[in-house]
Copies of this chain bind each other. A is one copy, B any other.
Amino acid sequence: MEILIGTTAENKQIVLKNYIHGSPLETDLELKHGNQIKLEAPKGSNCVLMKNYYLSCDPYMRGRMQDFQRSYVPPFSPGSAIEGFGVSKVVDSDDPNFKRGDFVAGITNWEEYTLIHKTHQLRKIQKDDEIPISYHVGLLGMPGFTAYAGFYEVCEPKKGDYVYVSAASGAVGQLVGQLARLHGCYVVGSAGTSQKVELLKNRLGFNEAFNYKDEIDLEAALARYFPQGIDIYFDNVGGAMLDAALGNMRAHGRVAICGMVSQKSRTDTQTFRNMFAVISKRITIKGFLQSDFIDLYPRFLEDVTSYYKQGKIVYLEDIIDGLENAPAAFVRLFSGKNVGKQVIRLASE
């Protein structure tokens, strides 16, 4: 359907009702009707008006739903549309770098149309028939870059290293495991369903995989999968799994802390029995944010696009249609219902 510049349209939005404590419920977000938007990028504004095609569900967004001022991103505002990574099509542009019809990736709002002021954070997507545009919030977006920067820049990988990845079929984990395999490492992943375990072994090329929910003793489970110990733990979950991994690290092991999705809030207590291993095994634990490595983004895009086109890596997405289903899609992240990168599709190419 042709969009007429300058007309006004309804712009449905997903808003945060109130700050949450702990994990988000579907009812913490709501679809808001009736908001009107003028479909133009006003002259002199330097803005871009975009139609949103894909919205990305990422675990870090839970943190923005909590009224916690000391994090690396500010909290959302209750009553307003939440924001996140997305893939969008330019409807009208007052920025000479973008023109109508361009596809872009970057931070957008959870709504049908978004007027973007900070156009510098948008990245124009080169159309490529081999690559679904939704990958620009997954494999080629922030999660993919997190995996790339975290694995190569934080984990100090060497060929032959024993690598463990938790939340291994998720948006980040699935790429970490595949990059580690390409690097000549032995890779074991964990996930929370037998379906995911099968995917890890049969689609994503992990050497081994296990369902952590089937294990009474996580430390013993890791000892079974890593009789020689772990050189690299890429941690997406924190808490008890981090503790179990610490108890299985080899001397001079590295733990890259990427996420703590097992923790309901940032001040939940986490209890460790194996902290002493940090000394006795000379372990390095390193937290990181992909944004610190942003200079590597062009190289990442080139490398990972090339691996993908050569068939060396695959990428699993879990796509749900419709803005009205966005709250349900988002909360799937925290119950582990998503299989692969969770994306909401608002429109198709």
Bound complex: CA of A274 vs CA of B287, how far in Å? 12
**Whose C-beta in chain B lies nearest to the C-beta of A291?**
B282
A285 interface neighbour in B268, B281, B285, Cβ under 8 Å: B285
Bound complex: CA of A296 vs CA of B267, how far in Å? 40
A279 interface neighbour in B258, B269, B273, B284, Cβ under 8 Å: B258
A280 interface neighbour in B72, B277, B280, Cβ under 8 Å: B72
A278 on the B face (CB < 8 A):
yes
A46 on the B face (CB < 8 A):
no
Which of A266, A269, A276, A288 has most chain B Cβ within 10 Å?
Answer: A276
Give chain B residues whose Cβ lies under 8 Å from the Cβ of A284: 284-287
Give chain B residues whose Cβ lies under 8 Å from the Cβ of A282: 286-289, 292
A278 interface neighbour in B257, B277, B281, B283, Cβ under 8 Å: B257
Q: A136-166 toward B: CB 8 Å interface, digit per residue (1/0)?
A: 0000000000000000000000000000000
Protomer copies: 2
Is A279 within 8 A of B287, CB to CB? yes
A84 on the B face (CB < 8 A):
no
**Whose C-beta in chain B lies nearest to the C-beta of A274?**
B267
Q: A187-227 toward B: CB 8 Å interface, digit per residue (1/0)?
A: 00000000000000000000000000000000000000000
A308 on the B face (CB < 8 A):
no
Is B276 within 8 A of A260, CB to CB? yes
Q: A235-279 toward B: CB 8 Å interface, digit per residue (1/0)?
A: 000100000000000000000011110010011111111111111
A71 interface neighbour in B271, B280, B289, B292, Cβ under 8 Å: B280
Bound complex: CA of A268 vs CA of B273, how far in Å? 6
A267 interface neighbour in B71, B273, B281, Cβ under 8 Å: B273
Is B266 within 8 A of A276, CB to CB? yes
Is A276 within 8 A of B263, CB to CB? yes
Given A284-B285, A286-B284, A287-B283, A273-B269 contact (CB < 8 Å): yes
Give chain B residues whose Cβ lies under 8 Å from the Cβ of A269: 271-273
CB contacts under 8 Å to B, within A290-341, are 292
**Whose C-beta in chain B lies nearest to the C-beta of A281?**
B287
Give chain B residues whose Cβ lies under 8 Å from the Cβ of A71: 280
Give chain B residues whose Cβ lies under 8 Å from the Cβ of A288: 279, 282
Given A281-B287, A283-B287, A289-B282, A276-B272 contact (CB < 8 Å): no
A interface residue numbers (CB < 8 A to B): 70-72, 238, 257-260, 263, 266-289, 292
A-B contact pairs, 24 of them (CB 8 A): A70-B280, A71-B280, A238-B275, A259-B279, A266-B280, A267-B273, A267-B274, A268-B273, A269-B273, A272-B272, A277-B287, A278-B286, A278-B287, A279-B288, A281-B287, A282-B286, A282-B288, A282-B292, A283-B286, A283-B287, A284-B285, A284-B286, A284-B287, A285-B285
